[in-house]
Each structure stands twice: as C-alpha cells, then as structure tokens.
Amino acid sequence: MTDLLSGRRHVVAADRTAVPSGVRGDARRRRRLGLIVAAVLVLVLVVTGLAVVAGDGVEDEPRAGAPPPSAPAAPDRPTLRELMPSGVRIGSAVDGRPLSLDPAYRALLGTEFNAVTTENAMKWRSLEPSEGVYVWAGADQLVEFAEQHDQEVYGHTLVWHSDVPTWVSPQWPAERVRSALKDHVTEVVSRYRGRVWAWDVVNEVLDEDGSLRDTLWLRKLGPGYIADAFRWAHAADPGARLFINDYGVEGRSRKADALLKLVGELRRDGVPVDGVGFQSHLPWDAPPPDLTANLRRFADLGVSVAITELDVRIELPVTPAKLKRQAEVYRDVLRSCLALSACVSFTVWGFTDARSWIPGYHRGYGAACLFDEDLRPKPAYSALADELGRLTRPTAAPAETP
C-alpha cells in the first residue's frame, strides 16, 4: 500500500506543471477524502473482527446444554407433584401476569404442581365485563398451560357476592337476576366442559355467625339459588366435580357447623354437591384446632374434601423462628387432609411471596407462601416435601434371621 501511494504521489508531482491550480486543489481534496474513507473502512473492519473474536453478535445462540435465560435450574430433588399420593392433586392459584411474562414463574408452576386454580381470570367480572361481551383470554391461557403440563384445572368461582360485574343491577326484577346468573354459570361451564375437573360453584355463602350471607342472590332469589347453581353447573358439565367453598370453617366452629348442616340438607335434596372446599387462609401462630376431626365430619356426609386456598401469613418482621412455625402449620394442614381418603386436592393460594395477596390485604403481614420473592424454597416447602416423603417412603424390610 505504501508503494502504491508513493507511486501515485510521484505521478502527480511529475504532471503538476501541466495542471491548472484549481484542478490540482480539487485532486488533493479528493485524495485526502479517499484516504479518510479508506481509513474509516479499515477501522470498522478491525473493530468488527475484534467483536466477533470476543463473542459479540452470537449472544442469541446459547451454549450447548445451557438452560434458557431466566429458567430456574432443574431441582435435584423430587418435586411436590412427584411426591403427592396417587389420586390427590397438589395445586396453586395462578397470577395471570407472571404466567404471561415470567419464564421462571411458569417453569416452577409447571414443575411443582399437577393442578392449577385461576386466581382471578374465571371470576364473573373478569370474564364478562359488559353484558354479553366475554373476555376469555386469561382463562383460556391457564387451561392451555395446564393441558401442556399435564395438570388439572380447578375453576374458581361461578357464584360469589364479590366480583359481580357492574352491569348486573340490584334494581332488576328477580327473574332477570336469575336469568343472568343462570346464563353465566351455563356459559362458563359449557365452554370448559371436559377441561375443568372441579368448580367452586358457590363461594362464601355463609356469614361469620353461620347465617346465609346477605347478598344480591339471597335478596333477589332466596336461599334456593345455591341449589339452582349446582344444578345448572351439573347440566352444563355432568363430569365436573362441584364444590361449595368457604373460609373460617377449617376447625370446629359455629360457621363450620352451619356449613355442615347446609351441605347435608343439599345432598338430601338431591343437589349435586360433590365436595367441600376449605380455603385455609391462616396465621402462622394459630393453626385451626381439630382440623382432622372437622374434615372427617364432612367426609362422613359422602363428599370429597379439599384444601383450596392455603397460605400462612407471618407477622412482620420475618424471623427464622416464625418461618419454622409457619412450616409446621403447612405440615399440619397437609397431614390432616391426607389422613382422609376423601381428600382429593391440596392447593396453595399462590406459591411465591413475590405475587402474594397477603401484604395488600393483611396490613403488617407477609411471607405467606412456599417460595420467597426470588423463587427459593422456604422451610414451609421443605416441611411439605418431608411430610410427603414420609408417606411415600417404602418401609424397610425386616432383617433376615440366620
């Protein structure tokens, strides 16, 4: 390159006298511009080469065997769903936002649980915000996720006093209210016929003293709306298991007695109540008394029992001692449910503290879930795994006598 440039300079110098001064200036400017462009091109090539050597530009091609970005490492232990006895589902409520956006959340949900419950996506206000206008995307997403991960879906909830869409007016006559409620139950259950294994048909129908809760449904339709809802759901999907679900009924109490009486009356009248769900939103320092005996009372009616919304909130700040106590509450609830052959499902209300509803509802409490905010298992998780391991661990064979 040096020789070539020298040669060009020589030629230009030899002809300088024959070239007008303006032309010579233009030539010099063109030569300088050409040299600058050439230098820039060389610099670009050099930088690009260094970048390739350094590995830039290939970041979208993961190393062989490397996990995908944000995916948690595969556990080196059996998962909860692997440890759960046959015929009993272990599930979690699901928040639609991280299900859509967080690969680590999705991976853990699909790995640890064999059942899922929609936290909000199947509530009436979410599904039908305007009369006759259905928004199925969130519920469909969960059902499809469950089918991809060999999970069953627990539908929550068809009839509730809360999350009723604003277009359902308390000023309507009774027949219009009844028609709207029937259409909702029938439409939703029919859409997921054969794809949802169980439904919370009616949710929280009892007040704290055990009386029927004062709701739009009770005021307009009378207590018969409960039986009607079960019959409508059964007609829409005869294969689905139908539950009545409530909170504050885990231990022997006036409210639990009232629920027992209500379920017994419904079944005697031929209403297709298949199971009772015990929500189990519990404090870390006050587990429900007589949980096993109370669950057995309901099982004796011939229904299935399920823990449907378990979380165990801790009064802040969190300490190792509180986490240990929380873990024992989780263990005790699991043990009580599995003590009965009627126990068909054990569901936690969210599995990570990063997505728990507790801090926003119970002021001064938190850390209620099995995994912390970084998706690391807590002592509560270990307690469940240990309890399940005790159930599934084979008994050692007796030593042979010589």
Tokens 């829409």 belong to 236
Which run of H or E residues covers position 340?
A: none
CA–CA dist 239, 21 (Å, integer) = 99
Q: For residues 358 and 62, what is the distance between their CA atoms, to the nearest angstrom?
A: 38
Give me the count of residues in the chain. 402
Which residues, 6 or more positions from 367, have their beta carbon under 8 angstroms from its beta carbon? 313, 314, 316, 318, 322, 323, 326, 353, 378
For the chain, the helix, strand and coil percentages under 3-state DSSP, each to the nearest 5 = 45, 15, 40
Of the candidates 152, 250, 309, 387, the residue annotated as catalytic is: 309
Chain centroid to Cα 328, Å, comes to 23
DSSP state for residue 17 in the 8-state scheme: G
Which residues are CB-neighbours of 353 under 8 A, at least 6 positions away?
Answer: 366, 367, 368, 369, 371, 372, 373
Helix, strand or coil for residue 15?
A: coil
What does the buried/exposed string (b/e) look like for 195-213 if buried means 16 or more CB atoms within 10 Å of the residue's CB?
bbbbbbbbbbbbeeebebe
204 flagged as catalytic: yes
Annotated catalytic, 309?
yes
Q: Closest Cα partner for 182 from 168, 163, 196, 166? A: 168
Tokens of 149: 């991960």
Q: Which two tokens stand for residue 351?
A: 């599995």
Catalytic residue among 128, 204, 250, 387: 204
C-alpha–C-alpha distance, residues 140 and 91, integer Å: 18
Give Cα separations from 341 to 83, 247, 302, 338, 347 (angstroms).
17, 22, 11, 7, 17
- Dihedral over alpha carbons 321, 323, 325, 330 (to 10 degrees): -170
353 membership: H or E segment, kind and range: none
Tokens of 247: 């909170």
Residues with active-site annotation: 204, 309
